[in-house]
Chain A
Amino acid sequence: MSDTAKTYKIGQHPDLPPPRTEVGVLGWFKHKLFSTPLNIALTLLAAWFLWSVIPPLFEWIVLDSVWTAESRKECWGKMEVPEGGACWAFIKDRLELFIYGFYPAPQRWRVNLSFVLLIMAIVPVLYDKMLARKFGLWYSVAFPFIAGWLLVGGFGLTPVETDQFGGIMLTLIIGVTGISFSLPIGVLLALGRRSKMPVLRIVCVMFIEFIRGVPLIALLFIASTMLNYFLPPGTVFDLLLRVLIMVTLFSSAYIAEVVRGGLQAIPNGQFEAADSLGLTYVKAHLLIILPQALKISIPGIVNTFIGLFKDTTLVLIIGMLDPLGIGRASLADAVWAGLAREVYLFIALFFFICCFSMSRYSLYLERKLHTGH
């Protein structure tokens, strides 16, 4: 006889454990996997799918893979079944190329240093409880210029041509430059779009909608072929710089829309309160409106950055060597040709790790914002 059938004095009924089929492992299986005939079918289908995909994949990636070899031939020779495993020796062999591109080896400490400085520049942006955050933020603003000097050289450092930039380093350069310069431009565009002055508003709307209406690749083509026509004759203009300008303009239009969303979320009372205190337009925005609007916009900005980060791969189409470009170039090497799966998987993993962690962070921020208000 079960507990629930007993009678207790009124008001003194104790908490009893639920029936065994409702909770615990049994309940979990019942509710999460086998609740209805359809669910049973789906569960079996998914289990069959996973069973037929994961073990072979695991074998290929881990168990049967080869980590040391000099060529593809040697790699495949080491396997029980040729091509039965991944040849990670290839990636290991080219790892430096994937990271630094063709940046001269003796100067690579400059890339490493820039990377360390980058991380230090990100910290004050992400942690609002940091000590002396104000100075940290000033440093973050200065960082792109410091890194630019470090990487390009001049003023005491050996100059390095930008066409030697490549790999993950190039991805980071384009991504970080794009986001840090597009942020101020985007904020101005967003304010312009909300302005009461028709000329300003129309100009901003046209710019934003034009950029958002065309693919990035078309803008990159413009950078590589057309931009020189726009400048006074004889101006020599670095290709990387042209690409950076285009990428910045491109993402500023998207940032503008994100910030506009943030501005719209600010209640009218805030504008009225700022006005009633006698603050000018500039002061009201700098002190009251933008700090709030930007805080709301951060998840959206991070998402824009993720998109931008993934889009940096497009530069390979105009002949620059981002990781994907390096991978494609390596595949053309007769010694290693035919290992496309390894290359694509490696690059995919790199982007996945970066973008997934960023999107987790933006989700976390969103949750924090929701609970914070």
Chain B
Amino acid sequence: MPTIATDGIAEDKIRHPTKKLTISEEVAIEMVAVHKWYGEFHVLKDINLTVNAGERIVICGPSGSGKSTLIRCINRLEEHQKGKIVVDGVELTSNLKNVEIIRSEVGIVFQQFNLFPHLTVLENCSLAPIWVRKMRKAEAEEIAMKYLERVRIPEQAAKYPGQLSGGQQQRVAIARSLCMNPRIMLFDEPTSALDPEMIKEVLDVMVELAESGMTMLCVTHEMGFATAVANRVIFMDFGEIIEQNEPHNFFNNPQSERTKLFLSQILHH
């Protein structure tokens, strides 16, 4: 049986798991029989997934398995072509109003940060509150500073993204999403583009976020993080959800052969 390598991340969190946090019965995301194709390539096959408010889900799987596409469908950065996706009671259709509502309720953090290089860190964070939430500038900046403090880089507020390290940039990206006060946060491999010593600072921020009760969907291979905060781990392969389970059982007692193979590959490399 593979043992779980935690990479020293949040080990205290493992001893005092955060899973005790209550998960409400309220449904945050519902995906029913979702299909998607890129051209002829069938990338998502019959995805059925229900996420309750407050749930923290880690999605893993080999590259090309459709996991990024799955979460990008949730705020319609990708369009699904069949099936139904309902986020916070609003169905995603080609109706632009619905898309707008959902996007301001769902935050996403990208692998490549995608900070706006021509704006300062503070402006990056206050942009959407000002233009989407129609907030006063002072208020928006106050909120931005609050979240910048929360991700522990308030002193970088006046700098430009290009002046920061990768880890700092990713934390700004998280703060930027949080400034919209989202109900759901999506993470698309947030630590994959980072140097090893910077992964921890980003994961720490994500762990804190999880403890605050945020609904989170996270595509990541950081198994330490999964054990520490997730209450469900989903394994995807070839565009399908192969297996889902709570982390302890998922890691120690995988059901399918493909999951076993995948776990053995990432845990003993």
- Residues of chain A at the chain B interface (Cβ within 8 Å): 4-5, 7-8, 10-11, 13, 15-19, 22-23
> Are the C-beta atoms of A4 and B33 separated by less than 8 Å?
yes
Known contacts: A13-B46, A18-B81. The answer to whether A23 contacts B37 by CB under 8 A is yes
Chain B minimum-CB-distance residue to A24: B40
Extra inter-chain contacts (10) besides given A4-B35, A15-B45, CB under 8 Å? A5-B33, A11-B240, A11-B256, A13-B45, A13-B239, A15-B41, A15-B42, A17-B40, A18-B37, A23-B37
> Are the C-beta atoms of A18 and B40 separated by less than 8 Å?
yes
Known contacts: A16-B45, A23-B37. The answer to whether A11 contacts B237 by CB under 8 A is yes
> Whole-angstrom distance between the alpha carbons of A17 and B41 in the complex?
8
- Residues of chain B at the chain A interface (Cβ within 8 Å): 33, 35, 37, 39-42, 45-46, 81-82, 237-243, 256, 258
> Are the C-beta atoms of B242 and A19 separated by less than 8 Å?
no
Select one of A10, A11, A15, A19 contacting B82, CB under 8 A.
A19
Known contacts: A11-B242, A13-B46, A13-B240. The answer to whether A22 contacts B37 by CB under 8 A is yes
Chain A residues within an 8 Å CB radius of B46: 4, 7-8, 13
Chain A residues within an 8 Å CB radius of B241: 10
What would 5 A/B residue contacts be, using CB atoms closer than 8 Å? A8-B46, A11-B238, A11-B240, A11-B256, A22-B37
Chain A residues within an 8 Å CB radius of B238: 11, 13
Where chain A touches its partner, the secondary structure class is: loop
Chain A residues within an 8 Å CB radius of B40: 17-18, 23
Chain A residues within an 8 Å CB radius of B35: 4, 16
> Whole-angstrom distance between the alpha carbons of A18 and B35 in the complex?
9
- 7 closest residue pairs by CB, A with B: A18-B37, A13-B45, A15-B42, A13-B240, A11-B242, A4-B35, A16-B42
> Whole-angstrom distance between the alpha carbons of A19 and B258 in the complex?
29
Chain A residues within an 8 Å CB radius of B82: 4, 19
> Whole-angstrom distance between the alpha carbons of A22 and B37 in the complex?
9
Known contacts: A13-B45, A16-B45. The answer to whether A22 contacts B81 by CB under 8 A is yes
> Whole-angstrom distance between the alpha carbons of A7 and B238 in the complex?
16
> Whole-angstrom distance between the alpha carbons of A5 and B32 in the complex?
11
Chain A nearest Cβ from B170, distance in angstroms:
27
Chain B residues within an 8 Å CB radius of A22: 37, 81
Chain A residues within an 8 Å CB radius of B258: 11
Chain A nearest Cβ from B59, distance in angstroms:
16
Chain A minimum-CB-distance residue to B237: A11
Chain B minimum-CB-distance residue to A11: B242
Chain A minimum-CB-distance residue to B41: A15
> Whole-angstrom distance between the alpha carbons of A236 and B40 in the complex?
73
> Whole-angstrom distance between the alpha carbons of A109 and B237 in the complex?
70
Chain B residues within an 8 Å CB radius of A19: 37, 81-82
Chain B residues within an 8 Å CB radius of A23: 37, 39-40
Chain A minimum-CB-distance residue to B239: A13
Which of A8, A17, A19, A22 is the most central at the interface, judged by chain B CB atoms within 10 Å of its CB? A22
Chain A minimum-CB-distance residue to B258: A11
